[in-house]
Amino acid sequence: MMPPREWLKPPRSLLTLLFLVTFVSISALGWLGWKLLDQERMVEAQRARERLEESADRIAAIARGTLAETGERLGAWLISPPADGKPEEGVLLTVNAGALTASPSHRLLYRPAQRLQVDDDSATFADAEVIEFQQKLPERAIDVYRRLASSQNQETRAGALMRLARVFRKLARTEDARAAYTQLAQLKGVRLAGVPADLIANHAIAELTRSPTAAIALKQGLRNARWPLTRAQFAWYWSEASRLTGDIQPASAEPSALAQAVEQGWTQVARDEAPRGQTTVWVASQPWFLIWRGAPDHRAILVINPESLLKPVFGSDVVLAAVDGEGRVVAGRRNRTAQRVVRTQAETQLPWTLEMTSAQSLDAAGLVVRQRFLLLAMAIMVMFLIAGAYFIARAIRGDLAVARMQSDFVSAVSHEFRSPLTSIRQLSEILALGRVPNDDRRRVYYETLVRETTRLQRLVEALLNFGRMEAGVRRYRFEPLDAAALVSRVAAEFEPQIAPFGRRIKVGGCAGECTIDADPEAISVALRNLVDNALKYAPECPTVEVQWGVKDSQVAISVRDRGPGIPDAEKRAIFRKFVRGSAAEKANVKGSGVGLAMVRHIVAAHGGDVTVASEPGAGSIFTILLPLGVETK
């Protein structure tokens, strides 16, 4: 079994453990959020159910009140019939001593045939018709019909005018026939063989004259229920009017359905002896509601669309459907996707069963707001968890990287110390034991000791200076310096070391004076580091170029080598402490990894900047940019 300490062994095990902990935390948070949302939906569903139950009771009460109020109005209209134009919806039929009246009259295209009166006395015209048809004496028949047309009795006059116009048409006396029909059309409320006399006259005039205006007026009168007709009469005259106008469209669907509903329901109501009642009839899949008050010979009947009757109960918060005993929707609409509340006929004392569903889904405004707030809070918590895990992982990796770089730094510094110390020890032992063969060799040993001691001193001073810079205790003494003199002095320091190998430092710059305000020792260390790097990373190149000049009101000191170059991904990282580029690893170049970091610290302390321009395989150019000195300005 693996010891617990091995689970925390960096870096992969620790990061994996962190990932697992974060994943479990997010999963638990997601599960908890889902349960909270589900519980919130259940609570909201229960609240919606309670609101729907309350709305159902309220709607049933309103529907009962509406029906009772309609019955009371019918009772009042039975005593005092309303003016034509009432009621606002449907049609009111009043029966008084066998006479049927419709209100508003223009809504009923035709009426039940049982209640229409046929007022025509054909015996009055018997003698005249014998003269007309048997004796075939049209002129004498015209005289008789004209005498009868002056009668005070409206029915006699109407019958005489109709027969007079008939004789004129037989004699092809069109104008006289038209005049007779015109007089007949002026007689209102008179029926001939059960048909209104003025309807007969208007039809005859339209047919006689072939006038489009007269035909259109006839059809408009039929559409507006101008004449009380039976269904068969209306159908025949409508077909005639359509033939004369050339428009064969049927009558309007709504008025036609209303007339059929009246006719169909009349057969039920007429046989019902109860003083009050109600029923629903269907005409072409359209329901109509009939409610009546009074005895069969003195009764008020309201025929209305149930949708119009139940208009007060329809609202925006509830979807309502009134259903008859056979399950057909009488009014409203069904919504089978939502929870439903049912109020039966026995519960509501209504002629229909009421089915009610909520017009709004469970995601009502309040629920949506609460869910959004909960989701937002969960999202923020998840983001914090992910961000926290990311930054912790990044910190762990960063610390591990720093630890690795510090280890590499210690290893590199140890190697840097070991080389001069080994040389110093060996040479010191040789000198101390007197094993030097001659004075020339002794002088060489002494020079080597001085060189290695100086190298070791510079390494120690570099580390101490970098430590003071990191701690912020390094003090700088600024004084005016000539950039050309600074470059020449640093280059001269390297000449004894590189001359034996055939290498040199090529310096050059602008002819004018370039003065900077700087600490001589610190800025020399910075430039020395750049030159030393150029020599180390380009061992095959015999020349390193150091240039100075003025660029954008700054003194620019550039060090150029012909080494392997620096990839773009490493150009910023190499200025961090303990970081060494991939070129150093490939070329096995020794170093501590603090040189460029020290250069950046020194240049920044002088108010300047250090840049690098490099392409892999094309060498590098490091440039120190420092403000111009006061004298130069």
pLDDT digits (tens, 9 = 90+) for 215-256: 999 999 988 888 888 888 999 999 999 998 988 878 777 888
Coil, helix or strand for 372?
A: helix
SS3 assignment for 295-316:
ECCEEEEEEECHHHHCHHHCCC
- Measured between alpha carbons, how far is 330 from 282 in angstroms, rounded to an integer? 9
- 416 and 507 in a common domain: no
Sign of the alpha-carbon torsion through 509, 513, 514, 518: positive
- 491 and 452 in a common domain: no
**Does residue 71 sit within a domain?**
no
- Measured between alpha carbons, how far is 485 from 548 in angstroms, rounded to an integer? 10
- The CATH number of whichever domain residue 401 belongs to comes to 1.10.287.130
Of the candidates 228, 283, 285, 223, which has an alpha carbon nearest to the alpha carbon of residue 111?
A: 228
And the tokens for 101?
């009246």
- 567 and 485 in a common domain: yes
Looking at residue 1, what is its pLDDT? 43
Looking at residue 417, what is its pLDDT? 65
**Does residue 114 sit within a domain?**
yes
- 233 and 126 in a common domain: yes
Looking at residue 408, what is its pLDDT? 56
Burial class (CB in 10 A: 0-12, 13-18, 19+), 148: buried
Looking at residue 8, what is its pLDDT? 45
Determine contact, residues 202/214, Cβ cutoff 8 Å: yes
- 611 and 510 in a common domain: yes
Looking at residue 118, what is its pLDDT? 47
Looking at residue 79, what is its pLDDT? 84
Looking at residue 143, what is its pLDDT? 92
Coil, helix or strand for 141?
A: helix
**Does residue 517 sit within a domain?**
yes
- The CATH number of whichever domain residue 242 belongs to comes to 1.25.40
- 153 and 239 in a common domain: yes
Looking at residue 384, what is its pLDDT? 76
Number of domains in the chain: 3
Which of 441, 472, 503 is the endpoint of a domain? Answer: 472
Coil, helix or strand for 318?
A: strand
- 605 and 501 in a common domain: yes
Q: For residue 410, what are the CA distances in angstroms to 93, 94, 114, 418? A: 113, 116, 121, 12
- 606 and 509 in a common domain: yes
pLDDT in tens, 41-59: 787 778 778 888 888 888 8
Of the candidates 582, 540, 581, 587, which has an alpha carbon nearest to the alpha carbon of residue 561?
A: 540
Of the candidates 314, 313, 322, 324, which has an alpha carbon nearest to the alpha carbon of residue 279?
A: 324
Strands (E), 442-585: 479-482, 504-509, 515-518, 543-551, 554-561
Enumerate residue ranges in the chain where pLDDT < 50.
Answer: 1-9, 115-116, 118-120, 362, 633
Sign of the alpha-carbon torsion through 477, 480, 482, 485: negative
**Does residue 566 sit within a domain?**
yes
Of the candidates 257, 261, 259, 253, which has an alpha carbon nearest to the alpha carbon of residue 290?
A: 261
- 451 and 515 in a common domain: no
- 168 and 126 in a common domain: yes
CA atoms within 13 A on the CB side of 427: 19
Q: For residue 165, what are the CA distances in angstroms to 154, 204, 353, 433? A: 16, 9, 59, 167
The domain containing residue 451 runs over which residues?
364-472
- Measured between alpha carbons, how far is 358 from 580 in angstroms, rounded to an integer? 71
**Does residue 337 sit within a domain?**
no
What pTM did the predictor assign?
0.54
Looking at residue 186, what is its pLDDT? 92
**Does residue 335 sit within a domain?**
no
**Does residue 522 sit within a domain?**
yes
**Does residue 347 sit within a domain?**
no
SS3 breakdown of the chain: % helix, strand, coil, rounded to 5?
55, 15, 25
Which of 250, 274, 289 is the endpoint of a domain? Answer: 250
Cα 472 to the chain's mean position, in Å? Answer: 56
Which of 442, 472, 502 is the endpoint of a domain? Answer: 472
Of the candidates 575, 556, 534, which has an alpha carbon nearest to the alpha carbon of residue 487?
A: 556
- 622 and 487 in a common domain: yes
- 461 and 488 in a common domain: no
Looking at residue 2, what is its pLDDT? 43
- The CATH number of whichever domain residue 574 belongs to comes to 3.30.565.10
Strands (E), 296-392: 298-304, 318-323, 329-332, 340-343, 353-358
- Measured between alpha carbons, how far is 109 from 230 in angstroms, rounded to an integer? 9
Of the candidates 325, 357, 327, 328, which has an alpha carbon nearest to the alpha carbon of residue 341?
A: 357
